[in-house]
Structure 1
Amino acid sequence: MAEQGTKGPAEPGKRTTGRTRRAVLFGGIGVLGAAALVGREEIGRAWWLLPGVRKPRKEGELDHAGASWTAASPANWRMADRPDDYRIDRIVVHVTQGSFASSVDAFKNPFHKASAHYIVRQDGHVEQMVRELDVAFHSGNRSMNERSVGIEHEGFVDRPQDFTDALYAASARLAADVCRRYGIPVDRTHFLGHSEVPGADHTDPGPHWDWDRYLGLVRAGLTVTAATAATAAPAAASPGPG
């Protein structure tokens, strides 16, 4: 049978070669097409880096109103434009395995090569060190870093007394705020311990971290926020005295 598209029988020895070349051609086009799609996705994520496009940033600007600001070294995080380039749908819970002060110093150190968006102190103080729109190097997994907010907690995994009432309450308020802004469900699929991140070699937050208590506080924080918003909305819509 003649090869489709030819006017006569294909010559022996060339038919196979023709098909091989065609397969190679189309295979090459497929590879180039896939590469183009990947390239287009990366370009789409990076377009905002062009002069005049980047979102305005101010040193010390906070994402969580209850936090204070200390900047992590730029070597310990990557500039991004989340959630426009990477969706945010996870929160990763960490324990510092050291003091609050030593953790702040570590994230400021360009040789540390790691950081988190927030550190929660045992007395309930919250320090933000990386903007949520940027990618902090906190989980040891690039994909997870790109999609998550990392929250460190002052303490040691083998000392349950380090997880104080004030620490739980402050972290839950922070997490509820993050969940509200990005629509993150409050469950164990969307809240992970560092040890649960694929490829992680860490053990935090460890067996003494009370997940039921923590997620209960986060849900309560979301309920309070929703109730406050619902109460404020009618008042804002009401016309003033005529």
Structure 2
Amino acid sequence: MVAHAGVEKPRVEGAVDFAGARWVAASDANWRRADRPDDFGIDMVIVHVTQGSFDSAVRAFQDPGHRAAAHYIVGQDGRITQMIRELDVAYHAGNRDYNERSVGIEHEGFVDRPQDLTDEMYEASARLTARICARYDIPVDREHILGHVEVPGTDHTDPGPHWDWDRYLKLVRRTRMAQAAPSGSPSPAGR
């Protein structure tokens, strides 16, 4: 097995783990400082839907009374905000073991509104998930990329019945292959 370094250390205030993400800090009450993947291996990505707007999710994750936050939020327009470093354990899954082993990604919208799940959101999230999977050598499959609804011991239903898992995993795989292609090599889409 290959050891993976994870994200850059030491910590730098405002640093993001995904290029292009905007940093907005979550409340300290909504996550726990850690040194992942050294103290807890990361082997999952958990997909969430906010059940609200992008801005309402940011506000909730900044609220110490909320007692939950994900590492990232992806907007319907494709913007990405990081609120917790991947080094740290976000309280997003409702299950301690899954929190320690995963990166949580929220998606702006409502589970019962398929129109909220935009092309821009799927594409941005796929780029983010592909980078996370590459960084921690996470397989791109449904055993390792799962919905909040699949976390044991929770009553959540997100990402909901309209989340297109086949489309999403194809986008993640295609992006990961393109990211892994040596510079100057044709991408798989170009063949």
- Taking structure 1 as the reference length, the TM-score comes to 0.72
Amino acid at match of 1:144: Y
Q: Deviation at 1:200?
A: 1.1
**Secondary structure of residue in 1 paired with 2:66:** coil
Structure 1: any 5+ residue segments left out of the alignment?
1-54, 234-242
In the TM superposition, residue 59 of structure 1 has moved relative to its aligned partner by 1.3
Which of these residues, 167, 175, 178, is aligned with residue 121 of structure 2?
A: 167
Q: Which residue in the other structure is 2:32 paired with?
A: 78
Match of 2:130 in 1: 176
Q: Is 1:231 matched up with 2:186? A: no
Spell out the pairing of 1:125-204 with structure 2 (5 A cutoff): 125-204=79-158
Percentage of pairs with the same residue: 69
Whole-angstrom CA distance in 2 between matches of 1:155 and 1:66: 21
Partner residue of 2:11 out of 47, 53, 57: 57
**Equivalent in the alignment of 1:31:** none
Runs of 4+ in 1 over 3 A off after TM superposition: none
Q: Aligned residues, how many? A: 177
Superposed, which structure 2 residues align to 1:88-103 within 5 Å? 88-103=42-57
Amino acid in the other structure paired with 1:208 = H
Higher RCO structure (Cα 8 Å, ≥6 apart): 2
The one-letter amino acid of 1:189's match is E
**Alpha-carbon deviation of 1:66?**
2.1
SS at match of 1:105: helix
Q: Map Cα deviations across residues 197-231 of structure 1 (whole Å, 9 max, x no partner).
A: 0011100001000000000000000111011xx22
Name the amino acid aligned to 1:186. V
Q: Is the counterpart of residue 107 in structure 1 residue 80 in structure 2? A: no
How many angstroms does 1:232 deviate by?
6.1
- In the alignment, structure 2 segments of 5+ residues that lack a partner are 1-8, 186-191
Task: Output the amino acid matched with 1:183.
Answer: D
* TM-score normalised per structure 2: 0.91
| One-letter amino acid of the structure 2 residue matched with residue 107 of structure 1 | F
User: What whole-Å deviation, never above 9, does each CA across 1:126-152 have from its counterpart, x for those lacking one?
Assistant: 000000000000000000000000000
Alignment of 1:12-91 (within 5 A): 56-91=10-45
Taking a change above 3 Å as real, the CA distance of residues 189 and 110 of structure 1, as seen in their structure-2 partners, is: same
TM-superposition CA deviations, 1:1-42 (whole Å, max 9, x none): xxxxxxxxxxxxxxxxxxxxxxxxxxxxxxxxxxxxxxxxxx
Report deviation, 1:57: 1.4
Residue identity opposite 1:231 in structure 2: S
Over the aligned positions, Cα root-mean-square deviation in angstroms equals 1.1
Describe the shift of the 1:130–1:222 C-alpha distance in structure 2 as closer, same or farther (beyond 3 A): same
Q: What code does the residue aligned with 2:54 have?
A: F
